[in-house]
Amino acid sequence: MSYVALYRKFRPSTFSEVRGQDHVVRTLRNQVKTDRLQHAYLFSGTRGTGKTSVAKILARAVNCEHPDDGNPCGVCPSCKRIADAASMNVIEIDAASNNGVDHIREIIDEVQYRPTDARYKVYIIDEVHMLSAGAFNALLKTLEEPPDYVIFILATTEAGKIPVTILSRCQRYDFRRIDTATIAGRMRELLDIEGVEAEEKALRFIARTADGSMRDALSLLDRCIAFYMNETLTYERALTALGEADTSVFARLTGEIKAGRAASALRIFGKKVAEGAEVGQFISDYIGFLRNLLIVITSDEEDAREIIDATEEQMAELRSSAQDIDADTVMRFIRILSDLLNRMRYASDRRILAETALLTLVKPESDGENDALKQRIRELERKLEALEAAGGAAPVIMQVSAAKEEEDSEEKEALPPGAPEDLRTLLGDWKHFVSELPSSILKQQLMENAHPQFNADTLENKLYVEFGTGTGGPAADVVLLGDWRAELEKQIERTMRKHIDVEFHLAKARPAGVHTVDIDRLIRDRIGMEVEESEDDEDI
């Protein structure tokens, strides 16, 4: 007999053998035991998590002649026929290749006939999201009100592509990614049956690589066993067989990038590619390492251990790497590498793209994004601190910086103060003026809805900006707490070449004498009052 792959040989035959989906199998077993079955089920979840296996177990259980606590017995004629794919009452359909209206109409025609030697006729439609719009419409009515002897089980990896009208007619079960410990435990059980020796560290590595998929894990395990036939499967051998990189490789790569050693970083990457690592998978794994590194940097040790699935040795390497890098830099690395993965889809030479991205990581000056500029500033600050500590040229640089600040201060003091006419210009064209501010959309909206005012009693050189009438709520408080006042003063200086003081306040705390009326009228009124006072003085 030909060899049968592990994931096929050890496919679960009862609900009790399913791993990692307790929330699903418990509900289905209870439904079978109490005969509270639904007419339509939707199993959704990532690949290899047991959707089709559970569907087949449910098909056997509902037709089993002697069910055992909700599980199919596996020995009755009905269970044997279904297990051998010889039953006419359990119909499996691959919607990826049978997705047209005609295929669904065939199902609708067959539904009219009762099962010949079982209680239920069960239709398992795999990858149901691949059905065409017409096929979904044809299925709709039958799915809503099927005969009482028919059960539909729809399986999909992309529930978001299924019409809402179909979803609303099914009882939905979401299959979760299976955790590393559960996958590793299942592989240990199967290896004991197969008589193969393997290190626990190797099994956990394979489980992590499978990314929550039991089927993928067993396929990878099969590959490793075949590569090292009749030998103990060690962690190093699993790495070699799968062409994967260890955490230590990514730790070294990160260290070389952080130190600015481009050639060393490229050598590490080139060596892994030469050993058989797929470029896209290497970058994806590196992003996973950086994700773990970011968690170590931003969380305490206890929380990091709970979130990250890693050995003690790997956690030590992550902690060591976290000492020489900050969270902003790691997030920049993740951004660049994530963009790289997207661009790789259409690239003819993925290695060149990857090497270019690594060089961008090494040299922030080649990246024009804000986080790259921040990293360059941090690097300069560290160099200045090192120079100052060594008694070098840092004081000279600091003196130049201080001189520049003093020059800017003198320039500000040299600007003439604003006059009432300048305030009138600001009030008359407030929204246009605010739109020129280098600020966020939220800030501009708040500023546009604010009310520019002035003191009508003194006509002093000060612009009052009132928030709360029309802007409302806590957003106005944010304005008052933020450093927007200085930003507005700088914008006035840049635009008008005048210095006008700015003061923010809420509507409920408006200072005395401050108004929002026409400044032209107030100036005329003020001038008129001065003329009248002057005439009265002459009469005296």
Residue 449: pLDDT over 70 = yes
Classify each residue of 194-223 as buried b or exposed e, where b means 16 or more C-beta atoms within 10 Å of its C-beta.
Answer: eebebeebbbbbbbbbbbbbbbbbbbbbee
Is 47 inside any structural domain?
yes
Provide long-range contacts, Cβ within 8 A and 24+ apart, for 450-455. Answer: 450/479, 451/507, 451/516, 452/426, 452/427, 452/516, 453/510, 453/514, 453/515, 453/516, 454/420, 454/423, 454/427, 454/514, 454/515, 454/519, 455/511, 455/513, 455/514, 455/515
Sorted by sequence, the CB contacts under 8 Å of residue 467 that are 6+ apart come out as: 446, 450, 451, 476, 479, 480, 504, 505, 506, 507
Beta bridge partners of 122: 90, 151
Beta bridge partners of 171: 41
Closest to 487 in 3D by CA, of 436, 423, 445: 436
Lowest mean pLDDT among 143-157, 160-174, 199-213, 481-495: 481-495
Predicted local confidence at residue 305, as pLDDT: 84
User: In degrees to the nearest 10, what's the CA dihedral of 441, 447, 448, 453?
Assistant: -170
Half-sphere exposure of 279 (CA within 13 A, CB side): 21
Contact 169, 142 (CB under 8 A): no
Residue 517: pLDDT over 80 = no
Domain boundary among 339, 367, 395: 367
Residue 61, domain CATH: 3.40.50.300
Domain boundary among 203, 224, 242: 242
Residue 467, domain CATH: 3.30.300.180
Q: How many CB atoms lie within 10 A of CB 232?
A: 11
> Angle at which helices 200-209 and 180-194 pack, to 10 degrees?
120
Kindly write down the DSSP assignment for every residue of 317-373, as one continuous string.
HHHHHHTT--HHHHHHHHHHHHHHHHHHTT-S-HHHHHHHHHHHHH-GGG--SHHHH
- C-alpha–C-alpha distance, residues 288 and 366, integer Å: 24
**Do 213 and 259 share a domain, yes or no?**
no
- C-alpha–C-alpha distance, residues 303 and 311, integer Å: 15
Helix, strand, coil: what percent of the chain each, to 5?
60, 10, 30
- C-alpha–C-alpha distance, residues 38 and 154, integer Å: 12
Contact 295, 308 (CB under 8 A): yes
Average pLDDT over residues 105-122: 88
Residue 190, domain CATH: 1.10.8.60
Q: pLDDT-based confidence at 379, cuts 50/70/90?
A: low
Cβ-in-10-Å burial (0-12, 13-18, 19+) of 131 comes to buried
Q: Which residue has the higher pLDDT, 479 or 50?
A: 50
**Do 151 and 15 share a domain, yes or no?**
yes
Residue 251: pLDDT over 50 = yes
The domain of 150 spans 6-175
Q: Which residue has the higher pLDDT, 517 or 381?
A: 381
Classify each residue of 162-185 as buried b or exposed e, where b means 16 or more C-beta atoms within 10 Å of its C-beta.
Answer: beeebeebbeebebebbebebbbe
**Do 434 and 504 share a domain, yes or no?**
yes
Radius of gyration of the chain (CA): 36
Contact 227, 241 (CB under 8 A): yes
Q: Could you tell me the CA-to-CA distances from 351 to 272, 285, 389 in Å, in that order?
A: 12, 15, 42
Query: Rounded to the nearest 5°, which phi and psi values hold at 156?
Result: -155, 150
Predicted local confidence at residue 463, as pLDDT: 83
Residue 522: pLDDT over 60 = no
Q: pLDDT-based confidence at 438, cuts 50/70/90?
A: low
Number of domains in the chain: 4
**Do 217 and 258 share a domain, yes or no?**
no
**Do 170 and 210 share a domain, yes or no?**
no
Asked whether the whole model's pTM tops 0.85, one would answer no
pLDDT digit string, tens, across residues 389-424: 665 544 444 444 444 445 455 444 566 676 666 777
Contact 418, 461 (CB under 8 A): yes
Q: How many CB atoms lie within 10 A of CB 360?
A: 21
- C-alpha–C-alpha distance, residues 282 and 261, integer Å: 20
Length of the chain: 540
**Do 31 and 122 share a domain, yes or no?**
yes
- C-alpha–C-alpha distance, residues 168 and 42, integer Å: 10
- C-alpha–C-alpha distance, residues 182 and 67, integer Å: 27
Domain boundary among 198, 219, 242: 242
Q: Select, from the ranges 320-329, 408-417, 514-523, the one with the highest average predicted confidence (pLDDT).
A: 320-329
Residue 52: pLDDT over 90 = yes
Is 221 inside any structural domain?
yes
**Do 136 and 36 share a domain, yes or no?**
yes
Closest to 183 in 3D by CA, of 20, 25, 50, 47: 20
Contact 328, 353 (CB under 8 A): no
Lowest mean pLDDT among 64-68, 96-100, 453-457: 453-457
